[in-house]
Amino acid sequence: MPDISIFTDNFEIYMKGFGNTIWASVIALLGSFALGTIIAVFRISSVKPLRWIGTAYVEFVRNIPLLLVVFMFYYGLPSLGVTLNGFICGTVGLMVYTASFVAEAIRAGIMSIPTGQTEAARASGLTYMQTMRHVVLPQAIKIVIPPLSNQFINLVKNSSILGVFAGFDLMYYGDQVASKTYATFDTYIFVAALYLVLTIPLSFAALQLERKLAKNG
Amino acid sequence: MDIAGAFSYHNLIFIMKGFGITLWVAFIAIVLSFVLGSITGTLRYMKIPVISRILGVIVEFIRNLPLLLILFFTYFAMPDVGLKLGVMSSAIVGLAVFEAAMISEIVRSGLSSIPKGQIEAARSSGLTHMQTVWHIVLPQGLRRMVPPIVSQFISLLKDTSLAIVISLPELMHNSKIVIAQNFDYTLPILALVAVLYFAINYALSLAARRLENKWG
């Protein structure tokens, strides 16, 4: 059994990391949702250069590791004269990386609505915005929510990348506790437990939501 | 920026060696995780009392942890409980265990996606349980599984970069060493690394898409 005193004695250190992990996740979640939506709109836009930018972004970012994205901010930006700390680089990197997956999920959802419906809506006199708002989006959102919620669970797990760049998250402070107590295994058991406290309820909620949408949809 | 210096012969050889390690570790982990994931996924699908439940709990725990933490466990924490692995083995074991949990879930949901009616129909036409699985469930289930499994392999290839935390001499690790030599090498080296990862993963994702179009 892991020694519970490691957790109670270092409770404040653990909580500092836990809090920062939640912060980084929430910021990156909101940011990646906003950025991902914009890129999805670019990807399905009828303007060719916009479509090209959207596609290039998604294809490039999805096919390189998150670590490399954060490297670009942490080591690449200083060459251009901008230096940011590990927390900011990690969170922004996470946002940029996750946005590509969010964009792809949103695009797939919108594309899954048959064009016949859009055409019918337009032919009945609805404007483009009205068609989107009353016909396409209400249906697309049901298709988009399950993959999006999975992406956000991945995001919480991926926030551990901050630990590689001294980003003051749970991994970083876990490392500090481990080097203080020398009880590496026990220390990381509690780190694992804290991650599970975040991700298991999220996974469960995502599953329930998916079932509910499947039933109503 | 010093492009000529960054792409000197020695640096390129060093980076390509790292790329070789990345591909090698990814390959071994892909094979192991595929075998382990298929077995656990099938066992979970078969709903064997107790065993399927226990496997389900283990898979859910692993799936919900960051891979980085699992690599810390295999390399830094396991020696505490008497299991000491080298850097390369730790990386492979950590990756294989984590990705196997993901693949197990893909296999389980792929198999469960076959409507019950088909299985009942097959059984009532006189097929045995094994024949039903072999002729009805697997051929359809596999088609649905292949595209997400290939995507998972792409994730695995990208995830090998996290082994930098245990100093596995893979692509990211070696590129960081080259960058540390000279600040002016940073941008050219990062660009080269991005091209290498992109080339291999994009090729894999095109293959996945082609399979999806063919079978989807």
**CA B71/CA B16 separation, integer angstroms:** 23
Q: Does residue B9 have a pLDDT over 60?
A: yes
* Residue, of B131 and B212, whose pLDDT is higher: B131
Give the count of domains, chain A.
Answer: 1
pLDDT of residue A117: 92
Mean pLDDT along residues B26-31:
97
Question: Which residue on chain A is closest to B59 by alpha carbon?
Answer: A200
The whole domain housing B27 covers: 3-215
pLDDT averaged over every residue in chain B: 93
Q: pLDDT digit string (tens) for A186-216?
A: 999 999 999 999 999 999 999 898 888 877 6
Mean pLDDT along residues A139-154:
90
Q: Which of B22, B68, B159, B174 to mutate to test the interface with A (most CBs of A within 10 A)?
A: B68
> Contact A68/B176, CB-based, under 8 Å?
no
Helix intervals (H) in A75-136: 77-79, 86-111, 115-123, 128-131
Q: Does residue A1 have a pLDDT over 80?
A: no
Query: What's the CATH number where B20 sits?
Result: 1.10.3720.10
Interface check B98 vs A, CB under 8 A? no
Interface check A204 vs B, CB under 8 A? no
Report residue B157's pLDDT band, with 50, 70 and 90 as the boundaries: very high
Report residue A217's pLDDT band, with 50, 70 and 90 as the boundaries: low
Tokens for B216?
């989807």
pLDDT of residue B216: 59
Residue in the structure block whose two tokens are 């709990």: B57
Interface A-B: count of C-beta contacts within 8 A: 115
- Calculate the alpha carbon distances from A29 to A159, A167, B101, B120, B167 in Å: 10, 17, 24, 44, 30
Interface check A203 vs B, CB under 8 A? yes
Report residue B1's pLDDT band, with 50, 70 and 90 as the boundaries: confident
User: Cα–chain-centroid distance for residue A156?
Assistant: 7
Residues in chain A: 217
pLDDT of residue A30: 97
pLDDT of residue B46: 85
Tokens for A13?
């250190």
Query: What's the CATH number where A182 sits?
Result: 1.10.3720.10
Interface check B58 vs A, CB under 8 A? no
3-state secondary structure B85-142: CCHHHHHHHHHHHHHHHHHHHHHHHHHHCCCHHHHHHHHHCCCCHHHHHHHHHHHHHH
The whole domain housing A90 covers: 4-216
pLDDT averaged over every residue in chain A: 93
List b or e across A24-60, with b for residues whose CB sees 16 or more CB atoms inside 10 angstroms: bbebbbebbbebbeebbebbeeeeeeeeeebeebbbe
Interface check B184 vs A, CB under 8 A? yes
Mean pLDDT along residues A45-59:
95
Q: Does residue B212 have a pLDDT over 90?
A: no
List b or e across B17-45, with b for residues whose CB sees 16 or more CB atoms inside 10 angstroms: ebbebbbebbebbbebbbebbbebbbbbb
Prediction pTM value:
0.92
Interface check B121 vs A, CB under 8 A? no
Q: Which of A75, A153, A190 to mutate to test the interface with B (most CBs of B within 10 A)?
A: A75
Give the count of domains, chain B.
Answer: 1
Q: pLDDT digit string (tens) for A63-101?
A: 999 999 999 999 999 988 999 999 999 999 999 999 999
